[in-house]
Structure 1
Amino acid sequence: MPHPVSKVPSHLPSRLTISLWDFTWYTRTTPGEPFADLDVAFEQAVERGYNTVRICAMPFLLFGDHGIDTAALRFTSMGGDVGVRTRWYDAAGGAVLDGRAHLLELFRAAERHGCHVILSSWEYQQSPAFLEGPEWYEALMAVDPDDRHRVMAEAMSDLVQFLKDHGLAERIAYAELHNEVDLSRLSLAGGGGPADVYWPQRPFVESAVARMQERHPDILATTCYGIPPHLDIGAVPDNGEVAHFHIYVYGVLGALEKWAGVRAVDGFPSPELRSLLRDDAPDMASYEGKVDPWRLSATGVSASMFYSHDWMDTARWDRWLYENYGRWREAMSTAVDERLDVLARHARRTGTPLVIGEGWVGYTPLLAEFEDGPVGQGIAERAITRCIELGAWGAVLGSNSAPHHPGWDNVEWQRTWNRRLTLGDAAA
């Protein structure tokens, strides 16, 4: 039974077609980078059928109590050639921004192009790693873990008030406490997503979301789970005003990572991983030490994973996935169906609109094409079709469908499926 989006304010779209702009809308703004001109980025988004972008609004950095000068923020790369072929990390570096002014510029551009913005934060995950110095990261980690949810709620609420003061509140689709609270450093239990993370975090998340709602009852407020506990959905607080979740099925991708030891620390790189690397890949020893230790800690991506993604021969990577996909096809399809069904039931029970803010396969090297190719698109199409059938308020076509990924070039596919999402008709 489709879930009615009855709680959606009348000034917002009846369906959200979402492009994931994450933190890249401020880390990749130098000439020639995808967000050098926000109007161009929005023009391209609208051309592809999007009406909403989801961002790290950096609320703690812009409105936290830390003494950082946000009028001259200097962003950089990971260092040297680290990250140049790693998805989300291929920033050129060198951007200098007035943070609050840049936020207003984004919202005014959204207004000019008829788009809306989902507010989130990646600050306890990745964003601080792109600042020139460690002060942002250090300020975040200095907050007592038991107080981090509250501090983020206050910062996000201050940011919403700032947008209201500038007449831009109607551009806000809704506000999330933080991206993937279960996979973040918001609490001591965070960072890995094991089953025992969810219940201990529940009261902190619930209280923080309630604080956002108290300060701005006219703005939908919620939270976000990266690995939704679909087998124990009661661990998710009931007071979120949007049922926002992510679904990455991994399947064959997870099998490749385990087989090759992509995320391993001991015995890295394995012979299996070496068989997938480019012929010009350097020794790992020459790669270590290129990234400041604090920067690695701030992003949570290990030097070994940067090495794996930067030096992957993506043709070999994709070939392995295609050759082994048949063993995982049914499991991946079932995972999409079952998780969406559980999340839709949660949305109906709580009377909230369902949004899938990220998905569908998983995290791949920047130039790998499996997820944007025929099999990956087929998985996405199955998921999007099910979202439409379940009456979801919004969904991504895929996390790679954004200006900073090669998948952005699949223009007609995005137009087609965003049209179907907009019409709420899987066969449109």
Structure 2
Amino acid sequence: MSERHLGTPAMPAEPDATPTGRIPEHLPDRLAISLWDFSWYTRAGAGEPFDDVDRAMAEAVHRGYNAVRICAAPLLVAGDLGLDTLAVDLPIEGLGAAPTGGYYGQRTRWYDTPGGYSIDVRGRLFELLASARRRGVVVVLASWEYQQSTSFAGDPAWFEAIDAVPLERRYDVLADAFGRLLDDIRDAGLIDVVAFTELHNEVDFSMLPAVDAGAAGGAAAGRASGGGAGSGVAALARLRAWHPDQLVTVSYGKPPHLAMHRLSPALEVAQFHVYSYGVLDALQRRIDIRSEGTAGFPNAELRALLRADAPSVEEYGRPAEWKLRATVITDQMIYGYDWIDASAWDAWLAAHYDAHHEVMRREIESRVVAVAEWARWRSVPAVVGEGWIGYTPRDGGFEEGPIGRALAEHGIRTALDHGVWGVVACSNAAPHHPMWSDVEWQQLVNREITSR
């Protein structure tokens, strides 16, 4: 019987687990990341998860993390936007008091901020970096300011200052702010604590123009201003020239895994987020919870899942108009997540999951592989800074339960098999989420991440 030639595969049969790009020698070979986002200053009141940042850091180390990813609030603390006084005395209000009692966002993940205190954000940032140094943790610096950070303030001046920056100048002011902030971190002797710097979190889901996909070179060096819509490449080049020993990048909430060639080669870290909504998306579409201005909201499907004590939309009202302008979430989301019956939510997802199981596993795997292979092609380190299912009510436990943990483990192992440098256990695994209490699982997966 003659042998038949059935073609030559484009990719090797076995994944390449070697690093996708060079990792600076002073940084860990693998990053086990906990997503602290902006919550390290918005949930820092008395008795809250971050009232003692060193305690929170110790808890992270106990769970096996060696990296935290934060909103460093660069426009507030180093933006040269007239916010110096606010940077050292920022009133934290959250989304504000609700007329039916409590506060807006009270059961909405990441937005459950009661506020009622003021904080020296700049001082606390350096306290966090010093704590990280003592405990052997590195820090990913990012900004959520053009996505939601400013909405938690009790003073609209922060939002108004950054909103006044023309769209085409926003990457420029971010680069300049981070340049100054990294100068200050260097002067404090803490620059080796910085793993890398993102100009902004999820640029595809923020109040920012697209990052050019053109060549990284040709941009003015130093502190000169770039220009033009999509000037993210010029801003990245300027920050890199300013701090040539630092890795700089942006992150994407939904990487274009079907068209990775559209991404800019200016990214020095391939920092992408891998969410597979699957069954969650089916529920969200059914109850129309993430839309804005829907006539007749809430629909019958959502009403069937609400708590018995849920007020009407009219009774509940909505946050101040400027706060809604300062965030990418909608008033329908706030009402829905605040008043959903979390157990009914979880029960619906569990009952309908089987039909989505294979697709969700494959989607996680295919996206991780796509971003890892793009990073290898560009010879840059790959990081999955967020994942794995998606946005859920604070008290929902579907992602934290057996199904969600299994999907997370699948994503983590796929990432490690393909040489990804850093990965989250789960976006919900942080001090401000209920999943933080699952110490054993976090220790288990973080040992796997850091030992590979």
Class of the TM-score when normalised by the shorter of the 2 chains: over 0.9
Farther off after superposition, 95-104 or 314-323: 95-104
Match of 2:31 among 9, 16, 33: 16
Match of 1:210 among 232, 237, 241: 237
- 1:7 counterpart = 2:22: yes
| 1:142-164 deviation line (CA, Å, top 9, x unaligned) | 11111111111111111111100
Match of 1:305 among 323, 333, 336: 333
Farther off after superposition, 46-55 or 106-115: 106-115
SS at match of 1:299: coil
Structure 2 partner of 1:274: 303
Shift of 1:10: 1.1
Q: 2:300 is aligned with what amino acid?
A: P
Structure 2 partner of 1:194: none
| 1:196-215 deviation line (CA, Å, top 9, x unaligned) | x8769995222221111110
2:212 touches 2:232 (CA, 8 Å); kept in 1?
Answer: no
Q: How many percent of aligned residue pairs carry the same amino acid?
A: 46
Match of 1:143 among 148, 152, 165: 165
SS at match of 1:35: coil
Shift of 1:77: 1.8
1:129 touches 1:296 (CA, 8 Å); kept in 2?
Answer: yes
- 1:60 counterpart = 2:82: no
- 1:50 counterpart = 2:65: yes
2:20 touches 2:375 (CA, 8 Å); kept in 1?
Answer: no
CA distance in 1 between counterparts of 2:213 and 2:19 reads 28
Q: 1:142 is aligned with what amino acid?
A: A
Q: 1:57 is aligned with what amino acid?
A: A
1:133-212 matches, within 5 Å, as 133-187=155-209, 204-212=231-239
SS at match of 2:325: helix
Q: Which structure has the larger Rg?
A: 2
Q: 1:165 is aligned with what amino acid?
A: D
Structure 1 partner of 2:10: none
2:415 touches 2:423 (CA, 8 Å); kept in 1?
Answer: yes
Structure 2 partner of 1:405: 433
CA distance in 1 between counterparts of 2:243 and 2:116 reads 36
1:31-42 matches, within 5 Å, as 31-42=46-57
SS at match of 1:349: helix
- 1:353 counterpart = 2:381: yes
- 1:293 counterpart = 2:321: yes
Structure 1 partner of 2:217: none
CA distance in 2 between counterparts of 1:378 and 1:119 reads 29
Q: Provide closer, same or farther for how the CA distance between residues 376 and 35 of structure 1 changes in structure 2, counting only shifts above 3 A.
A: same
1:18 touches 1:357 (CA, 8 Å); kept in 2?
Answer: yes
CA distance in 1 between counterparts of 2:272 and 2:149 reads 20
SS at match of 1:30: coil
Q: Provide closer, same or farther for how the CA distance between residues 237 and 3 of structure 1 changes in structure 2, counting only shifts above 3 A.
A: farther
- 1:328 counterpart = 2:356: yes
Match of 1:250 among 256, 274, 277: 277
Shift of 1:5: 5.2
Match of 2:105 among 83, 89, 94: 83
What are structure 2's unaligned runs of at least 5 residues?
A: 1-15, 98-102, 215-227
CA distance in 2 between counterparts of 1:371 and 1:101 reads 35
Number of aligned residues: 415
- 1:121 counterpart = 2:136: no
Q: Provide closer, same or farther for how the CA distance between residues 202 and 402 of structure 1 changes in structure 2, counting only shifts above 3 A.
A: farther
Farther off after superposition, 2-11 or 374-383: 2-11
Query: Could you state the TM-score of these two structures normalised by the residue count of structure 1?
Result: 0.94
CA distance in 2 between counterparts of 1:99 and 1:82 reads 23
Match of 2:343 among 315, 319, 330: 315
Match of 1:226 among 253, 256, 259: 253
Shift of 1:75: 1.1
CA distance in 2 between counterparts of 1:198 and 1:336 reads 26
CA distance in 2 between counterparts of 1:376 and 1:203 reads 36
Structure 2 partner of 1:377: 405
SS at match of 1:263: coil
Q: 1:48 is aligned with what amino acid?
A: R
1:202 touches 1:235 (CA, 8 Å); kept in 2?
Answer: no
SS at match of 2:95: coil
- 1:73 counterpart = 2:94: no
Shift of 1:175: 0.4
What RMSD over aligned residues (CA atoms) do the two structures have, in Å?
Answer: 1.5
Structure 2 partner of 1:192: none
CA distance in 2 between counterparts of 1:91 and 1:402 reads 15
What are structure 1's unaligned runs of at least 5 residues?
A: 190-196
Shift of 1:95: 2.6
Shift of 1:177: 0.9
Structure 2 partner of 1:193: none
| 1:171-224 deviation line (CA, Å, top 9, x unaligned) | 00000110001111122x6xxxxxxx8769995222221111110000111111
Shift of 1:312: 0.7
